[in-house]
Structures are given as structure tokens and as C-alpha cells.
Structure 1
Amino acid sequence: MSQESEHGKWTVSSSDDESAGEQTNSEMPSTSLLQQTGQEKGPRYPCSEARKAAHKRKASPLKHSDRSFLQEVAPAQKQKPSQEGLGWCLSSSDDDEDNLKEGRGKGGAAAGVKQEERCAPKGILSNHKLPPSHKTESSDRVQDAWDLLNGQNPFRFFLTKVKGIKARYNSGSLHIKDILSPLFGTLVSSAQFNYCIDVEWLVRQYPKEFRDKPLLIIHGEKRESKAALHEQAHPYKNVRLCQAKLDIAFGTHHTKMMLLHYEEGLRVVIHTSNLIDDDWYQKTQGIWLSPLYPKLPLGAAESAGESHTNFKCDLIGYLRSYSSPTLNEWVEIIKQHDLSETRVYLLGSTPGRYQGSEKEKWGHLRLRKLLKEHATQLPDHHSWPIIGQFSSIGSLGADQSKWLCSEFRDSLISLGNNTTLTNHDVPVYLVYPSVDNVRQSLEGYPAGGSLPYSIQTAQKQLWLHSYFHKWSAETSGRSHAMPHIKTYMRSSPDFQKIAWFLVTSANLSKAAWGVFEKNGTQQMIRSYELGVLFLPSEFGLEAGYFQVKENMFSDEPVLSFPVPYDLPPEKYESKDRPWIWNIPYTKAPDTHGNMWVPK
């Protein structure tokens, strides 16, 4: 049965089912190859199916006025019962964890981490026509960034610059070129950890004088996509690749971090952007940029340079989790520097199955431990809601009791050692863009390529959608810059205070945060993730909370926290639907007058 909605009439055929995501993706390599016609089939870098669809629609937009195309859309081979009132025709297919991250399934057999040689087969991307890069602002803005970093921003939390909005809404924001500017230091070498990487674009973001400096790229690609990445890196003799091992199916290397080693010291950048042009163009992304860490004097003790948050030790522990000789070089660099000024806590995930005390090293149990040990218990804290904001959603189970409102919420409600974890009255608000949020965005429907929630996952957890709230960021002028940032926090009932704030690469998924196994005695994590946790106590706030900064550009107290979207969250109305990337939207045009037909 087909289903009519305000966005168009459509069905999901059996061919769209991805019950065996592993098989589906092995038949459709994640790397982009050329069609026989010589036209581009996709971007030149490995990426998700959702991003490929967005790339296709940008290259070949379907104008809303051209209704003739709809006759070419193949009817469903097998129509399945619909869920009334949802605007979807939902199938009964099962997927495993292939939609947990950015829409990519298992890319190949597990492989150990090793320092790789640039030996990819030649010709994979030969004669590939490169799309023009989005133009960024001139380099004279770098002085503004320098002033910004040395001004009144104790949190060192920034948003990325957005092209196409008023200049004042980019005040206090950074572009990757700002971060890599020579004003921040004389670069010796750097390491880039990420999920989706365009090597040629990345190299161009470095100042010319730094483009031949050693660059290590840590990735999780396999098979064809790994070969494509090697092909990209081959022309750059200073670039080395390090493959992160992903031994558990459907895991991804989703961490987004830069390590910048200068003659003057070391800087750590933990952020939410892929290393591709689109992610630094018209999206809302988050950045934590460390102070410039000075080098320790020769002969300093190994324990020297540690912060109150244990950041140095935790960062070294995270790097060691890769079991990579190449990353041991960076461990030694970190050991040589003084990280004592750090005010945030590091929160990571690494693939594995953990028992005993190891369970609390990673994922949501790591967050639980930090909140129990370092957060302040607040009066009536059980009425303080949890707010999660993300750009992708994994399979969370048949109902909220399976993970979201059990083990995951139990971790996020922790505040001090006396918190009772059996309370089930703490509200949960989930901020995820609606179809109209995407349609009315600066990019239009193609913005949904970075929001890879699939119909195969959504149809199995209709209960989840009652928790959804729209993306709204009017106070920062970014309501139309779709979020790829991921944030989690605990707010007061009036939304004017927050007990803690986390910016991270982790979306709402068990693969990212971990899931209990063996009756809770074991935690299993599939993916690499990384974020930083802000706690009021580390910023001298004895009351145990941050005031929320009501206007991103006002002269409010320095320690008011700049939450990157509007509070209180605005609940979906009855007509609103969460963005689903792999179904068409044909009734209403986007901001460019186009429809969305992903295939």
C-alpha cells in the first residue's frame, strides 16, 4: 500500500530493504568510481550512500516544476503495509547495525592496524573531474580568529563558519583554515583522525608553507574505499595513512580530531566535521580547540603536565587503544608537553568487549563514571531533563526500555555519587531535523545527505519519534544550517541552566555509546568516537551548573554556556516527520526549487 503525505506519494520496495547490510554494501563499493559515460557517479572520496545521493542530486538537480521525471521512478516491486499517519509506507525488513553511523555497512574483513605504504592500484580515479570547491572567506579573517582564541572564551568551544548567513552570525566561529593558520604556531607535523576524508581538499586547507609537513591520516576504510583513499594520498609524499582496526561488524572510525605539533608546542582539536568541503560550508559543526600546550623542560617526570581532568593520561590511553606503532610516535610527543591547562574531560569510545573496571573506560559508562565522580548533585535533579542532539540514529530496539531509557539514560542522569539510577521520570528530549528543517535549509534537500537516518531503521522504532524535537537555532542565525554537530546535556526544567555539556562525534547509537551484554557484565562498542565534557566545577562554578547563554552574541557573563541551538526544544507537530534520507520528497520544493529523489 502506498502512502500519501505532504511531501509526496511513495512506496518502499523490497529492493530497498537492507536486511543484509553487509551483502548490500559489498555489492556496491563505498568508493566512487566513474560511469562508463565518463560522468561522475559520486564524490572522489569514500563516503556513505546518503552522501552519494546528495552529491548526485547536487550534480543533477530535479526541479520541482519538472514533474515528468516522476514517471521514470520505478514503482515498488512489492508493496508492504503502511503505518498510518506517518507519511511512510514501511516494510518489515530487518537491518543489523549498518545504519548506526553515516549509512555505511561493513566495508570488508577485519584488519589489524598498521602503518600503510602508498601502494594503491593506479587508475581508480584517473580522469576524475573535480568539482569546484566552495569559496571560503579571504585569509585576512585569520587575525579575527587569533583575537577570538585569545579573548573571552574560557570554554574554547566554537562553531564552524557558515557561508550564506549574515556576517554577525559567524562572529566567534572558525573555519578549518583558521585552525591551521600559521598565526597559531609554526607547524612541524600533524595528525588527522576522521571518518570521511578528501585528501586533496585537506592538503589545500593547510597554509602553503605547511603543505609538505608530515601529515598522518587515521581512517577506517577497507577494500575499495581504502584503495580510493590510497589513490588520493599517493601524490603527496608527506602523507601517511594509518588504518584503524574495526574487528566488530558495522563499526566505523568516526572520531574527528586533529593533533597539531608546532615548534612552539602542541594543540589538540576535537570536532564534529568530516574532512570534506561540504562539512565546512553550510553546516553547523562544533569544535573544541585546546590551548597551546608548551613543551615540558628536559628531564621532567613522566607524570608532569597533567591536568585536573586527567586529560593527558586519557588522551594517551585513547591513542594506545589503536595498538598502532605509528600512533606511538604521537604518544611520545604528547608526553613531552604540558597539558595542565585543560579544563575538559575526554570521553572516547573504542571497539571491543569490556568487563570489570574496563567497562568504565569507554562509551556511556565512561560518561556515567565522570558524572558520578565530578558532577555536583543538584536539588530536584530528577526533574532536570536530558537533551540529546545528533545527526544520525542507529537501531535502538523494539521500545525505549531496550536501551534509550534504560542503560543509556541511567548513565546520563548521574550527578554525584548519591544519584539513584532507578529513577524513570527524567524526561528525554531528542533534537533531530524534521523534513521541513532540511527542505528549508541553505543547501535544500541535499543537506539530508549528512543526516543518514534510513527507512529500514526508522520503521522498526516508531516509538522513538515521539521524543523528537525540531532543529531550531534562531538566536545564532543558524536554523537553516543543518546540524552535523552532536551534543548531549542535562538541563534544568526551565532550560536556563545546564549541569553538564558534551560535544562529541557520537550519534545516537549503541555502536557509538556501547550496549550491555551478558546481563550487564559486559559492554560492547563497535566504533571509535571522541568528545569533550564540560563540567561547571572545572570553571570555578560551585553552584554546580552553567547559566545558558540566551543570545550567542550578547554581552552576558563570560561563564554563560553557548548552547548551539534554541531552548526550550520545540516538539514535532503532528504534521512533522523526521528526515529519512532514502525516500523521495516530491510535493514541496526546497530552497533551490528542487525535489528529493535519492535513487
Structure 2
Amino acid sequence: MSQEGNYGKWTISSSDESEEEKPKPDNPSTSLLPCAGQRAAYEPRYTCSEARKAAHRRKISPVKFSNADAASDAKRQKSGSQEELGWCLSSSDDELPPEAQQKAAEKVVVKEEKGVSSPKDNAAPRAGNHGPPAHHVLEEDEYETSGEGQDIWDMLDKGNPFQFYLTRVSGIKAKYNSGALHIKDILSPLFGTLVSSAQFNYCFDVDWLIKQYPPEFRRKPILLVHGEKREAKAHLHAEAKPYENISLCQAKLDIAFGTHHTKMMLLLYEEGLRVVVHTANLIRADWHQKTQGIWLSPLYPRIAHGTHTSGESATHFKADLISYLTAYNAAPLQEWIDIIQDHDLSETNVYLVGSTPGRFQGGQKDDWGHFRLRKLLREHAASTPSAEAWPIVGQFSSIGSLGADASKWLCSEFKETLATLGRDTRAPGKGVAPLHLIYPSVENVRTSLEGYPAGGSLPYSIQTAEKQSWLHSYFHKWSAETSGRSNAMPHIKTYMRPSPDFSRIAWFLVTSANLSKAAWGALEKNGAQLMIRSYELGVLFLPSAFGLDSFRVKPRFFSGGQEPAASFPVPCDLPPELYGSKDRPWIWNIPYTKAPDTHGNMWVPT
């Protein structure tokens, strides 16, 4: 559907939900293609959101920046102005009126680079296409692991009691990848002799995934747990068919606009079991130049036969993980439930926070979603003097429909959860517990390592944004100088409660859950029922599980052992920086043609 308004002309879908939070179409869309016959060249091999498809197309066939007023545009770029970078939702006096914006847009010469062969042809594009080759750059495996032998063990075992990591990023200084992990590291034989694995995720590139396993493990049994339906499911099965060792498990999604968004690995070794909870899709783009989070469990030993021990931790992680897997009600997962039962998870020091689809009442309300987080914070977070002054910081890569104003969900039930600190916590009043929401601006995306295509993993749509312009007053820029990753766009999702001076945090959560009611749940029936649409999973770090009252904030994420071991490596800068008057949140499905990105391209999504 084509529309034209104050923000220019764009093509949008009709859903109110973010792309990442709505079901994938039964028939993969061809709306982004010059013609359906070129679909193989312009769409990824895996099913994904429309935003991801647009980014994939623009990497293959970039729209080069060309403007009659190039000199003045360059001057604006140098000064950092976003005055004409794209859309706006405010009414400040220094913005161009709609008519002037339209005239400025007409000056742009949209020059789309052609000459792209099908990815399956493994052919380079014609000379003159300054974008990445269709197959070689987008699909080829070009990574190195983080280290060899003892180096990885040292990284995992020394000076990191939290076992929280970021993913390796291509194109940044080596020191900012020190201690970071690639998926090849996680699947490395240095971690154990793999027997079988289960991969829970939203998006799979099966061929790419298999190549991430060491050659000696590529024929070991792999279970893919997914949420695909109908034709998308058939497509995934077709992708997996050449691999006899792959089996698939479909997660039931009985509520509209729900997704299987959980990102977890279960790795069974001859030496034991490991659980990995992370934020990356199983596609190359998510492990290349994006900021992702990873929690690695200890290597859980098998419980010796005849030993009378439950293998449970103080955080009840084992029981909660089994409850989460049981909620799928899927036969293929029973084997993994039995495997977990047979292992000792007592060394776990994090809490599991999951979401599963359904409508929950009574005591079941506390089992899932943000009510699960509220229960853990009430029972295990330390009560803090003047807790109402401690800010709330949330950071995410996608946003759902949150209602006509802040009181509908964000600053009522959800904020009440995030503001909970101990049993004596009162519901947050107006103006207390400041709320800082970190979401990349247009300028963040434009100046990123990937340029505008990085915005394909930030599927906030114009139709959703226009309905909740009130939300944008809470927005803060993405900044990660502490980890050297300000230019690596975040797909990580974190929530935390820092002190007013941002030197300490009361708790930290890394999760797959974005800012949406679909992910976290929303109350129904006058608060008697919690409705959740999606599967999500995260781990909660509470100081009490580490014998502390609070965590110190680690000044530099990759600074090694210079700070006390209890310093938590927060992956974004604190305090967050509020959007300036000309900053705008990234919206994926409208064009940005007033300034080039780091590759000299514009963003024209359709």
C-alpha cells in the first residue's frame, strides 16, 4: 500500500505490529523485487521479515547517493546535522514544511546499481557496483575464532564470573574483540566433544549454520526449534532436507502475531551439557557487524549413577528450564528434558526469564513474561533506600504497538515490573523511576559499519511510529564507546536498573524480548489475566546470587582484569544520551535520501 504524507512517499504493510513480531507471510513477499523472476537474486535464502529483505536487497543492489546539492549536503554531514536525513514527528520551527521537503526529495537522483546475478551462481556483480558481491560477501564464511587452545579457556574461566559476552564484530579494532565470541567459538571442540545439539531461534540459514560447526561435528544430530507455518515451514524443511542429521520441531503459536523469538542453544557433549542463551538469529548478518549478547552456562557434569542429588541451583535454573521446555508440549523436546534431568546444574548463578504463548491466571501469571521478572525482582532483588530515584534503562531492536499513551502499558504494568526492588517496592508514581529507552537514531544507523542496511534488523515501522509519537520522548541514542561498538548496530536487548549516578546496577537482564506486549505480555480482564503471544528467553543477573548488594558498572567492557571481579560489563554507555532536537528514531520502511551512509548509499526500501 503506497502512501504519501508529511514524511514523503513510502510503501507499508497493513499490520500494526513490528515486523519481527508478526507472523511471516505464507507466501514470501515479492514486493521488494524489481520483478518476481529475480527473486533468487534479491531475497535471502531464509525466510525473514520485510525489513530484513529490504536490507538484503540494498546490500546486493545499493542505491548510490547523488544530489544536485552534493556540496551543501556534504557540509551538513560534516557538521553532524540530521536536519534533512529523513522523517520527523515533532513540530519544531526549524524543520522544513512538507512542500519544501518534497521539493528537496525531488532533487535526489535515485540511481540503483544493477547487474546482480543469482546468489546461487556465485558470480561477482558488474564493475561499478560498489556494494558487496551478491554471494561472496553476503554468504561466504570468512570468520576466525577468538583464539586457540588455552586462550579460549583463559577467556572463559578468568575474571568473568558472569559469563556474559558480546559477539565478535568485523571491522573494528582488535582490542574491542578481545574476549568476544563468534558462533564458531561456541561450537568449537575446545568447549567439548559434541554429541548432539538443539538450536532454538527465530530465523535460520541452514547452510550457513552447518558451516559454523567444526567439520567433525557437522553430522551430529541437530534439532531446530522454530515457529514457521505453512509455506515458510515447508521452505525451512526443504533447506534442512539435504542434511540427514537435522530434525525440526515446530513451536505452537496459537495466538495471532506471536513468534518463536527465543534464541538458545543446548549443547550435549561427551563431557557434559552446556546452555547458551543469546540474542542473534542463526544467519550470517547477525554475527558479522552487529552487537549481540551471549550468556554461556558452565559445563554441567552428568549426575553420577546412584548419586542422590537434584542438580538444582540456588536460582532454580534447572526446574525453570525444564518448565520452559515442557511448555512447548512437543515430543522432540522430551529427549532434551531427560538430558537436563540427568545433569547437575547447581553451579548456575542466573535466573531464567521466559515467555510462552497463552493466557495465564492466578499463580500462573507469575511464571512467564514481565510478571515472571516482577516476581524475581520482588523476591531476590535487594531493597534499596530511595529506590524510586533509581532509573530504569531498556535497550531493544524492535518496538510493538504500545497504545495511545504511556499509561496504557509502558508506564503502568510494565514500568511497575521494572521498578520492583524487593518486597517493599511500591507502584511507581508519576515522575519517579526515570525511564530511559535506548533505540538507534537515523544518524546511528547511517554512520554504522553496515550503513543504512543495518536498519533491516531494526524493524520499527512508520505505521506503528505514527500511532505512538508520545513514545519517542523517552528515546536515547545508541552509544557503546565502553565496548568500542557504537558503530556496530545493536540487536542485543537488555534491561537494567542503575543507580542515580550510574555507577552501580541493581540488576541486569539480557533477553530476546523487545519492547512489545507480544513479548512481555499484557494484562486482560481487569488485571486478572496475562496474555502473551510469543516465545522469548533471557537470563537475569541479580547481585544476591553473587553474594553482593549491587554490581559496580565496569568502566570499559573489554578492559580485562583491571577492575574488581564484581564489576558488571554493561554493553552500552551510561548514562544514556537523550535524543537531540533533530534526532529521529530509525524507521525501516521509509526512504532516507538526504545524506549518504558510510558506503555512499541511500536507503530506499522498496
> Do both share a fold (TM > 0.5)?
yes
> Hey, what does 2:72 align to over in structure 1?
none
> Hey, what does 1:487 align to over in structure 2?
494
Q: Could you say if the C-alpha distance between residues 37 and 173 of structure 1 is closer, same or farther in structure 2, counting changes exceeding 3 Å?
A: closer
Q: Deviations over 1:489-522 (max 9, x none)?
A: 0011111110000000000000000000000000
Q: How far 1:170 moved relative to its partner?
A: 0.4
Distance in 2 of aligned mates of 1:397 and 1:236: 45
Q: How far 1:65 moved relative to its partner?
A: 2.1
| Equivalent position SS for 1:358 | helix
Is the Cα–Cα contact under 8 Å of residues 440 and 477 in structure 2 kept in the other structure? yes
Is 1:506 aligned with 2:517?
Answer: no
Is 1:131 aligned with 2:135?
Answer: yes
Structure 1 window deviating more from structure 2 (126-135 vs 435-444): it is 126-135
Distance in 2 of aligned mates of 1:529 and 1:549: 27
Q: Could you say if the C-alpha distance between residues 316 and 39 of structure 1 is closer, same or farther in structure 2, counting changes exceeding 3 Å?
A: closer
Q: Could you say if the C-alpha distance between residues 526 and 134 of structure 1 is closer, same or farther in structure 2, counting changes exceeding 3 Å?
A: same
> Hey, what does 1:239 align to over in structure 2?
246
One of 536, 551, 571 as aligned partner of 2:543 = 536
Q: How far 1:274 moved relative to its partner?
A: 0.3
Q: Deviations over 1:161-208 (max 9, x none)?
A: 000000000011000000000011000000000001001100100000
> Hey, what does 1:40 align to over in structure 2?
41
Q: Map of 1:193-342 to 2, 5 A cutoff?
A: 193-301=200-308, 304-342=310-348
Q: Deviations over 1:266-292 (max 9, x none)?
A: 000000000000000000000000000
| Equivalent position SS for 1:523 | strand
Whichever residue aligns with residue 299 of structure 2, its letter is L
Is 1:152 aligned with 2:159?
Answer: yes
Q: Could you say if the C-alpha distance between residues 24 and 482 of structure 1 is closer, same or farther in structure 2, counting changes exceeding 3 Å?
A: closer
Q: How far 1:219 moved relative to its partner?
A: 0.2
Q: How far 1:216 moved relative to its partner?
A: 0.1
Distance in 1 of aligned mates of 2:490 and 2:547: 30
> Hey, what does 1:442 align to over in structure 2?
449
Is the Cα–Cα contact under 8 Å of residues 386 and 429 in structure 1 kept in the other structure? yes
Is the Cα–Cα contact under 8 Å of residues 386 and 412 in structure 1 kept in the other structure? yes
Distance in 1 of aligned mates of 2:276 and 2:313: 16
Is 1:582 aligned with 2:589?
Answer: yes
Distance in 2 of aligned mates of 1:223 and 1:453: 25
| Equivalent position SS for 1:483 | coil
Q: How far 1:147 moved relative to its partner?
A: 1.9
Instruction: Give 5+ residue unaligned stretches, structure 1.
Output: 69-80, 90-124
Q: Could you say if the C-alpha distance between residues 179 and 479 of structure 1 is closer, same or farther in structure 2, counting changes exceeding 3 Å?
A: same
Whichever residue aligns with residue 204 of structure 2, its letter is I
Is 1:552 aligned with 2:550?
Answer: no
> Hey, what does 1:118 align to over in structure 2?
none
Q: Deviations over 1:350-372 (max 9, x none)?
A: 00000000000000000000001
Distance in 1 of aligned mates of 2:242 and 2:273: 27
Distance in 2 of aligned mates of 1:206 and 1:32: 33
Instruction: Give 5+ residue unaligned stretches, structure 2.
Output: 70-87, 99-117, 123-133
One of 515, 530, 533 as aligned partner of 1:526 = 533
| Equivalent position SS for 2:359 | strand
Q: Could you say if the C-alpha distance between residues 502 and 126 of structure 1 is closer, same or farther in structure 2, counting changes exceeding 3 Å?
A: closer
| Equivalent position SS for 1:218 | strand
| Equivalent position SS for 1:348 | strand
Is the Cα–Cα contact under 8 Å of residues 284 and 482 in structure 1 kept in the other structure? yes
Q: How far 1:18 moved relative to its partner?
A: 3.9
> Hey, what does 1:462 align to over in structure 2?
469
> Hey, what does 2:351 align to over in structure 1?
345
Whichever residue aligns with residue 10 of structure 1, its letter is G
Distance in 2 of aligned mates of 1:32 and 1:191: 33
Distance in 2 of aligned mates of 1:47 and 1:560: 37
> Hey, what does 1:97 align to over in structure 2?
none
Q: How far 1:225 moved relative to its partner?
A: 1.2
Q: How far 1:426 moved relative to its partner?
A: 1.2
Q: Map of 1:361-510 to 2, 5 A cutoff?
A: 361-424=367-430, 425-510=432-517
Q: How far 1:456 moved relative to its partner?
A: 0.8
Structure 1 window deviating more from structure 2 (145-154 vs 368-377): it is 145-154
Q: How far 1:223 moved relative to its partner?
A: 1.6
Distance in 2 of aligned mates of 1:390 and 1:140: 26
Whichever residue aligns with residue 135 of structure 2, its letter is P
Is the Cα–Cα contact under 8 Å of residues 31 and 224 in structure 1 kept in the other structure? no
Q: Could you say if the C-alpha distance between residues 82 and 474 of structure 1 is closer, same or farther in structure 2, counting changes exceeding 3 Å?
A: closer
| Equivalent position SS for 1:322 | coil
Q: Map of 1:76-87 to 2, 5 A cutoff?
A: 84-85=91-92
Q: Deviations over 1:183-242 (max 9, x none)?
A: 110000000000010011001000000000000000001122111111110000000010
Whichever residue aligns with residue 496 of structure 2, its letter is M
Is the Cα–Cα contact under 8 Å of residues 351 and 541 in structure 2 kept in the other structure? yes
Q: How far 1:26 moved relative to its partner?
A: 5.0
Distance in 1 of aligned mates of 2:64 and 2:181: 34
Q: Could you say if the C-alpha distance between residues 88 and 451 of structure 1 is closer, same or farther in structure 2, counting changes exceeding 3 Å?
A: farther
| Equivalent position SS for 1:261 | strand
Whichever residue aligns with residue 519 of structure 2, its letter is A
What percentage of aligned pairs have identical amino acids? 65
Q: Map of 1:157-176 to 2, 5 A cutoff?
A: 157-176=164-183
Q: Deviations over 1:544-590 (max 9, x none)?
A: 21010111233111110000011100000000000000000000100
Is the Cα–Cα contact under 8 Å of residues 303 and 311 in structure 2 kept in the other structure? yes
How many pairs does the alignment contain? 545
Distance in 2 of aligned mates of 1:401 and 1:263: 52
Q: How far 1:28 moved relative to its partner?
A: 4.8
Distance in 1 of aligned mates of 2:397 and 2:461: 12
Is the Cα–Cα contact under 8 Å of residues 10 and 88 in structure 1 kept in the other structure? no
Distance in 2 of aligned mates of 1:227 and 1:504: 28
Is the Cα–Cα contact under 8 Å of residues 29 and 224 in structure 1 kept in the other structure? no
Q: How far 1:476 moved relative to its partner?
A: 1.2
Distance in 2 of aligned mates of 1:383 and 1:49: 40
Structure 1 window deviating more from structure 2 (270-279 vs 220-229): it is 220-229
Structure 1 window deviating more from structure 2 (476-485 vs 18-27): it is 18-27
Q: Could you say if the C-alpha distance between residues 32 and 357 of structure 1 is closer, same or farther in structure 2, counting changes exceeding 3 Å?
A: farther
Whichever residue aligns with residue 541 of structure 2, its letter is F
